Structures are given as structure tokens and as C-alpha cells.
């Protein structure tokens, strides 16, 4: 009887896995084709600024700043360095009367110790550096998927892992991050590795990785605050995380001070300038451009902070720890100013893995949660669906900038949907451990 059941069920299971892989490949192909056409469709109606900006990417300012410090012993935060960067990007210094150009300023706005990461490349041509970092960011993004799965105790079968990797590499955050060579992809991978290390009990390593991740402080301030709260709640058992974090961060800051005395005093000015020309706007502020968004930000922060405080004593392998981590990551891309571009949404990956792992529990909760599950599917796959539909539209409609920006616009709803699901997930039994096979 059991053998008969297996013979009947096995083809069905294989068929489901095949459909899943084919679906993920179809989504990926649609998005890759869409993203490959963006420069000639979306940027065609943009100023020449954007067209000149892409070849250098976001990495150039950091690489050039590292050259200034390590090879020429100059201050990368200085006005002279900023002038050189603007000339490199735009062919001329920015005219203060040109409002649009002012929103695309280029300057070295990272902590000085990011130069340690770029030090091996400062004597190479930038084209070579671009290729190296494209491969590096691709590899760390691939590695972040199993790391996040480990961190939240989601066990992925080979089929689900392949589908997740395919969709991740064909998602707007990753495609944009690779195109711009954004170090945010590396920071996301460092956070994933830190969380996985904490799960494994390697707290010293977790703290060290968190310290390195501060090369983008706006992306890490809330996750680090959560890890510090968690570690402080059981000092005897978890002090290794705080020790590793403080020791590594101190080494980075002090080493940078020897490299360029006084940089720590000049860095806040660079941050303020960066916030000014990027608008200091959060995603919630863009979606709700009224004073009401401030109230929503406070409410969202209160919900997440209250939950994190309540579960701060839970072990790292608990369901509650995974939800709390998801809360701070979702808050980061929702309410933190300057964390607005879609490439930052790579931080949402563990949230969607978490929701997928508990899908059956959520579906059985109540009709409202089932409706939310359907809404999540729609919002989650909407960018891929729109990208597929674009190539079915008449050529005359595809020329519209509004039409070509639709997948990008659709992706902006994901943090809000993810946060709503975390609220639903926190109502599930805290005793549940995410260690199920998918």
C-alpha cells in the first residue's frame, strides 16, 4: 500500500517541482530582458546625467576616494575630491544653479575604513575593478540566500533553493545593485552571515561581521541595535557578540584615524551633504508624501520595538528571533532616510523566506490572513508579471516612460506588505522552530 502511494505521489511531486522551476525561469527571463532594455527606454527621456552616470557606477566614488587616501595621501571628504568626482561623472563641475544636477551629486560619503576593502584595487584600472566587484557582489548575493535560510532556520530543498536563487538574481533589487555596483549588496550579505553566525553560536564572528557591515551605517543601524539589545539581555552567554563588534569597530576606526587624522570629525559633514542631495526621504515618505507618514513611521517603529523588547531573551534559533530580525530589516528599508532606492530591498529576502516557511500556518489562521496571503503573492510577483506583459504590448505603448517604470514602481510596495505579514507572523506560536523541509 505504501509503495503504491509512493508511485502515485512521486510523479505529482516531481511535476510540482518542475512547474516551480519553469515558473521561476520564466519570471527570471522576463525580468532580465526588461532590465536589459531599461537604459534605452527608461533613460531615453532622462537628462544625459543618468547616461553618463551608469558607466562609472556607484562604486567609483569609493574607489577614487581610496586612491586619494592610499596613493596620494589626500582627504577624500574634501571639496577638491568632490570637484574631481563631479568632473569624472559629468565632465564638468556641478553648477549650483542647476537643481537637477544637485540631486545627482557625487562625493565620498562612506566611513573611511571602506578604503581597506578597496585597497587591493587602487592600482588597477577602474574597468577591471568593475568586473571584479560585479563578480564579488554576484557571489555574495548567491551566498546570502542559504545564509539567510540558515539564520531563520528555513531548510530549503534543492528545488526550492534553485528557484529562490533564480528569483533572487532576477529581482529588481539585485539587478539594480549589480548594475550600479552597490556595496549595499555586500552589506546585506554581511548581515546574513552575522545572523547565521549568531545562530551557530559563533558570537565573536557575528559581532565582527556586524562591525564590517557599518561601511553603510544607514543600512545597519537598526539591525545592529537589535543584535546589541539581544546580546545585552543575556550578558553572560552572549557577551561575545558585543565584544566582537566593539573590538572590530574600534580597530577599524582607530586604523582609519592613523591613515587620515581627524576623519571622524569630518565624516558627519559628508553624511549631512549626502542626506541633503538625496532628499533625506524614506520609502514611506515617498509613498505617503504628507505629514501622516511621520505618524505611520512612529507607529511602525513602536510595533517593531515593542516586539523586539518582548522577545529579547529568546534564543537565536527561535521563531521569535527570526521575526524580530525581519522587523528591523523591513523597518530599515521603510522608514530610514536615504535607504530609498530599490537595491536596498534585498534586505527583505529573509522576510519572504520566513513567510514561505510558515505559509500553511498563515493560510489556516483566518479569512483575513488568507486574503493577505493572496495579496502578498500578487505584490510579490507583480514586478515580474508586469515585466512579462511589457513585451506583449504594442511597440507604441512600450515607448512610454510610465509604462517602462511600472515594474520599478510595483516593487516599492513590497516593504509595506512584508511588514504587514510580520505582524501576522508574530501571532503564531512562539514555540515553533523554523526547521521544516520545503
- pLDDT, tens only, 69-124: 999 999 999 888 888 888 888 776 665 555 444 455 678 889 999 999 999 999 99
* Average pLDDT value for residue range 376-388: 84
Q: Please report the pLDDT score of residue 58 as a whole number.
A: 87
| Greater pLDDT, 314 or 375 | 314
| Greater pLDDT, 8 or 164 | 164
The pTM of the whole model exceeds 0.75: yes
Cβ–Cβ under 8 Å, residues 311 and 321: yes
Q: Please report the pLDDT score of residue 45 as a whole number.
A: 36
* Average pLDDT value for residue range 150-162: 87
Q: Please report the pLDDT score of residue 282 as a whole number.
A: 76
Whole-number average pLDDT of the chain: 83
Q: Please report the pLDDT score of residue 292 as a whole number.
A: 78
Q: Please report the pLDDT score of residue 96 as a whole number.
A: 54
Q: Please report the pLDDT score of residue 9 as a whole number.
A: 45
Least confidently predicted of 33-47, 285-299, 335-349, 351-365: 33-47
Cβ–Cβ under 8 Å, residues 144 and 306: no
Q: Please report the pLDDT score of residue 324 as a whole number.
A: 94
| Greater pLDDT, 246 or 401 | 246
What are 297-345's pLDDT values in tens digits? 889 999 999 999 999 999 998 889 999 999 999 999 988 877 778 889 9
Least confidently predicted of 62-71, 119-128, 405-414: 405-414
Q: Please report the pLDDT score of residue 276 as a whole number.
A: 66
Per-residue pLDDT band at 136 (split at 50, 70, 90): very high
* Average pLDDT value for residue range 150-164: 87
pLDDT over 90 at 187, yes or no: yes
Per-residue pLDDT band at 2 (split at 50, 70, 90): very low
Per-residue pLDDT band at 296 (split at 50, 70, 90): confident
Q: Please report the pLDDT score of residue 44 as a whole number.
A: 38
Q: Please report the pLDDT score of residue 87 as a whole number.
A: 83
pLDDT over 50 at 265, yes or no: yes
Per-residue pLDDT band at 223 (split at 50, 70, 90): very high
Residue 97: other Cβ atoms inside 10 A? 7
Cell 530589516: give the residue.
Answer: 329
CA 414, CA 256: separation in Å to the nearest integer?
37
Q: Please report the pLDDT score of residue 47 as a whole number.
A: 37
pLDDT over 50 at 50, yes or no: no
* Average pLDDT value for residue range 277-297: 74
Domain spans of the chain, in order of start: 19-425
Q: What percent of the chain has pLDDT over 70?
A: 84
Which of 62-71, 84-93, 275-284 is most confident? 62-71
Amino acid at each position: 500500500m505504501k509503495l503504491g502511494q509512493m508511485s502515485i505521489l512521486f510523479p505529482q511531486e516531481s511535476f510540482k517541482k518542475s512547474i516551480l522551476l519553469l515558473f521561476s525561469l520564466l519570471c527570471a527571463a522576463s525580468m532580465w530582458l526588461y532590465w536589459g532594455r531599461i537604459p534605452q527606454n527608461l533613460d531615453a527621456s532622462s537628462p544625459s546625467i543618468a547616461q553618463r552616470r551608469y558607466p562609472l557606477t556607484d562604486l567609483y566614488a569609493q574607489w577614487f576616494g581610496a586612491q586619494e587616501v592610499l596613493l596620494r595621501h589626500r582627504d577624500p571628504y574634501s571639496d577638491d575630491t568632490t570637484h574631481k568626482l563631479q568632473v569624472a561623472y559629468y565632465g564638468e563641475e556641478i553648477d549650483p544653479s542647476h537643481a537637477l544636477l544637485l540631486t545627482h551629486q557625487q562625493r565620498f560619503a562612506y566611513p573611511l575604513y571602506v578604503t581597506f576593502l578597496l585597497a587591493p584595487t587602487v592600482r588597477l584600472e577602474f574597468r577591471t575593478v568593475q568586473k571584479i566587484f560585479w563578480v564579488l557582489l554576484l557571489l555574495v548575493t548567491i551566498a546570502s540566500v542559504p545564509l539567510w535560510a540558515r539564520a531563520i532556520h528555513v531548510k530549503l530543498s534543492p528545488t526550492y533553493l534553485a528557484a529562490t536563487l533564480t528569483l533572487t538574481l532576477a529581482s529588481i533589487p539585485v539587478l539594480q545593485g549589480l548594475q550600479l555596483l552597490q556595496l549595499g549588496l555586500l552589506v546585506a550579505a554581511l548581515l546574513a552571515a552575522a545572523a547565521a553566525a549568531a545562530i551557530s553560536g559563533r558570537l565573536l564572528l557575528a559581532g565582527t561581521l556586524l562591525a564590517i557591515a557599518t561601511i553603510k551605517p544607514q543600512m545597519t543601524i537598526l539591525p545592529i541595535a537589535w543584535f546589541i539589545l539581544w546580546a545585552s539581555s543575556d550578558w553572560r552567554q552572549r557577551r561575545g557578540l558585543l565584544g566582537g563588534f566593539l573590538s572590530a569597530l574600534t580597530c577599524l576606526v582607530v586604523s582609519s584615524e592613523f591613515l587620515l587624522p581627524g576623519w571622524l570629525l569630518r565624516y558627519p559633514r559628508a553624511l549631512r551633504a549626502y542626506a541633503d542631495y538625496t532628499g533625506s526621504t524614506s520609502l514611506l515618505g515617498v509613498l505617503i508624501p504628507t505629514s501622516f507618514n511621520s505618524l505611520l513611521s512612529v507607529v511602525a517603529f513602536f510595533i517593531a520595538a515593542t516586539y523586539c523588547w518582548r522577545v529579547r531573551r529568546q534564543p537565536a534559533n527561535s521563531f521569535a528571533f527570526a521575526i524580530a530580525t525581519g522587523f528591523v530589516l523591513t523597518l530599515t528599508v521603510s522608514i530610514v532616510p536615504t535607504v530609498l532606492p530599490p537595491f536596498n530591498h534585498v534586505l527583505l529576502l529573509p522576510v519572504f523566506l520566513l513567510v514561505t516557511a510558515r505559509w500553511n500556518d498563515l493560510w489556516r489562521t483566518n479569512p483575513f490572513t488568507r486574503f493577505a496571503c493572496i495579496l502578498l503573492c500578487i505584490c510579490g510577483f507583480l514586478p515580474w508579471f508586469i515585466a512579462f506583459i511589457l513585451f506583449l504590448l504594442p511597440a507604441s505603448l512600450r515607448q512610454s516612460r510610465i509604462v517602462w517604470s511600472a515594474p520599478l514602481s510595483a516593487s516599492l510596495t513590497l516593504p509595506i506588505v512584508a511588514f504587514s505579514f510580520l505582524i501576522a507572523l508574530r501571532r503564531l506560536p512562539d514555540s515553533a522552530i523554523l526547521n521544516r523541509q520545503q
